[in-house]
Amino acid sequence: MRFLPFIPALVLFCASAPAEEVSSSRARKYAKTMQALIRAESEEELNKFIVRMGVLDHPRSVILIPPAATLLPSKINYEKALEAIEALENPEAVAALIKNYKKARSLEDKILLLDSFGYRDDQPTGEEILTSFENKLLRIQLAGLRAAGRRKLKGAVDPLIALVDSHTKERDLLWLEGRTALLEITGQDFETGADWKKWWDAERESFDPNEAPDDDGRTVVVKKAADSVEFFGTEIFSRNLIFVIDVSGSMAMFDQGRSTIKAAQKARVRLDRARKQLLVAIESLPKAARFNIIAYSNKVTAWQKGLRPASKSAIKSAGKFVKEFLARGATYTDDALKRAFEDSEADTIVLLSDGAPTKPEFPSSFLIEEILKDIANLNAARKMRINTFGFEGVGGWPDKIPGQTSGPLPLPTLKDVEVFVGFMKQLAKDNHGSFQSIK
């Protein structure tokens, strides 16, 4: 356990302590306390700190809530911050947060505040949600759309319909998240802006979001288009994405499917299938898209340092990188995901693998638990969408394995596959994405 340094103010805060007038000097002491807790990486004490700042319900205390929840990434503290802000009753404290939102340099703080506004019901925070739709930063726009849907803002319907209509051709994340917000608010789902306008013109005057049909967990229904970007049959809506591809030794295996074993060894090798699908996907990216590719085994190799526009030259360069994939080594999924999170401009990860994470010094069960926890913390404010794709089968080893001189390795068991698939499903579910089985 790390030793906690001396903290120049109260550390153990009691949520039931009486409110107090927060003077400028007292606020500075609270800020120093927060900084000390962050340096000490004391998640539990920061949780208490966040609660206390909310209970004080004072303009000088509440502005410490966002940095307390984001400077030390923590899903638990992020959620506690949302609860604290939702419960604020002092209009001056809320006004201070809105002012802080407008001036904040930290993108994570701005997203947390927008997220929290989606749990409130006052007019000023509702207006900030609507204003966020026009923000230049995509991550702010997406956070605003999610907040509007959660809050069921009737005033958001018109701008949401306009957004969906203007992005119908692009079929990007704004189009998808705009439709999702409309579904949450209205209980309705239409493919085009024209259909939305027709319905809304008839319902506008009498519509009450509180009486709208419950979506009951429904998701937006998307009809595939001829020019959609797909990976193993799943449409990819992001235009700022990172493909994270497993190239460990087991990717040299093949899946028989309906083919003969001989035919499957030629046409259904996992890495070959992944390579083919990836090449088609990047060649289908619109010019407005930006992307990167990360290949990983026990070594993580990125095509570029960051996202690159999907120009002809970039796609050609990426294609060369993909064609040089070679299956060998272990499955360091944790290192690959951490590398992907280093790119602050990406909003989506497309992760493909065929096995649970492995490292010589740790069992897979431990690695899975750590990955799910670490990514949940990193992604609390980031809101990265993680779509996972997994080869769901025991597979078989080909007679000859390119780049490997040793004979075939043992086959995974059905239990191994079950653990792997469970991990990939949970990772996607926890991070706004979906899982696609590959057989």
Q: How confident is the model at residue 404 (pLDDT cuts 50, 70, 90)?
A: low
Report the CATH number at residue 373: 3.40.50.410
Asked whether residue 185 falls in the same domain as residue 110, the answer is no
Task: Please tell me the predicted confidence (pLDDT) of residue 232.
Answer: 97
Q: Answer yes or no: is pLDDT of 4 > 70.
A: no
Report phi then psi at 385, rounded to 5.
-90, 125
Rounded average pLDDT over 226-237: 95
d(C-alpha 77, C-alpha 74), whole Å: 5
* Mean pLDDT on 265-290: 96
Residue pLDDT, tens place only, 106-164 = 999 999 999 999 999 999 999 999 999 999 999 999 999 999 999 999 999 999 999 99
The helix/strand/coil state of 128 is helix
* pLDDT tens-digit series, residues 243-275: 999 999 999 999 998 888 889 888 999 999 999
Percent of the chain whose pLDDT exceeds 90: 85
Q: Where are the beta strands (DSSP E) in 247-325?
A: 290-296, 300-302, 308-309
DSSP string, 385-438: EEEEEEE-S--B--SS-TT--S-PPPPPPHHHHHHHHHHHHHHHHHTT--EEEE
Question: What DSSP string describes 338-397?
Answer: HHHHT-TT--EEEEEESS---BTTB-HHHHHHHHHHHHHHHHHHH--EEEEEEE-S--B-
CA distances from 289 to 140, 174, 213 (A): 18, 13, 36
pLDDT average, residue stretch 224-249: 95
For residue 1, pLDDT over 80 is answered with no
Q: Clarify whether residues 260 and 382 are in a common domain.
A: yes
Containing 266, the helix (H) or strand (E) segment is: helix 261-267
pLDDT in the model for residue 217: 74
Which pLDDT value is given to residue 150? Answer: 96
pTM: 0.92
CA 193, chain centre distance (Å): 26
Helix (H) or strand (E) segment spanning residue 230 = strand 230-231
Please give the structure tokens belonging to residue 264.
Answer: 């499957």
The CATH number that applies at residue 194 is: 1.25.10
Looking at the structure, do residues 95 and 211 belong to the same domain, yes or no? no
Q: Which of 62, 90, 117 is the last residue of a domain?
A: 117
269 and 416 in one domain?
yes
Q: Please indicate, yes or no, whether residues 381 and 270 belong to a single structural domain of this protein.
A: yes
Domain identity same for 276 and 336: yes
What pLDDT band is residue 403 in, cutting at 50, 70 and 90?
low
Looking at the structure, do residues 239 and 160 belong to the same domain, yes or no? no
Helix residue ranges per DSSP H, 72-172:
75-86, 91-103, 107-117, 123-132, 138-151, 157-166
Average pLDDT value over all residues in the chain: 93
| Residues 6 or more apart in contact with residue 134 via CB below 8 angstroms | 141
> In terms of domains, do 216 and 245 share one?
no
Residue 207 predicted with pLDDT over 80: yes
| Residue 235, beta-bridge partner list | 230
In what helix (H) or strand (E) does residue 245 lie, and over which residues does it extend? strand 240-246
Rg from Cα positions in the chain: 24
Burial of 283 (0-12, 13-18, 19+ CB in 10 A): middle
Domain range spanning residue 301? 230-438
Same domain, 295 and 425: yes
pLDDT of res. 16? 44
For 8-67, write each residue's pLDDT tens digit. Answer: 444 444 444 445 689 999 999 999 999 999 999 999 999 999 999 999 999 999 999 999
On the question of pLDDT at 2 being above 50, the answer is no
What is the band of 405 on the pLDDT scale with cuts at 50, 70, 90?
A: low
Residues 147 and 69 grouped into a single domain? no
The rounded distance, in Å, linking the Cα atoms of 2 and 40 is 7
**Same domain assignment for residues 234 and 379:** yes
Q: Do 87 and 169 fall into the same domain?
A: no
Per-residue model confidence (pLDDT) at position 19: 53
- The last residue of a domain, from among 98, 117, 136: 117
Q: How many domains does the chain have?
A: 3
Residue 343: per-residue pLDDT: 95
State the DSSP code for 190: -
User: Which of 223, 248, 267 represents a domain boundary (last residue)?
Assistant: 223
* Gap between the Cα atoms of 275 and 129, Å rounded: 41
Residue listed under structure tokens 């502005």: 63
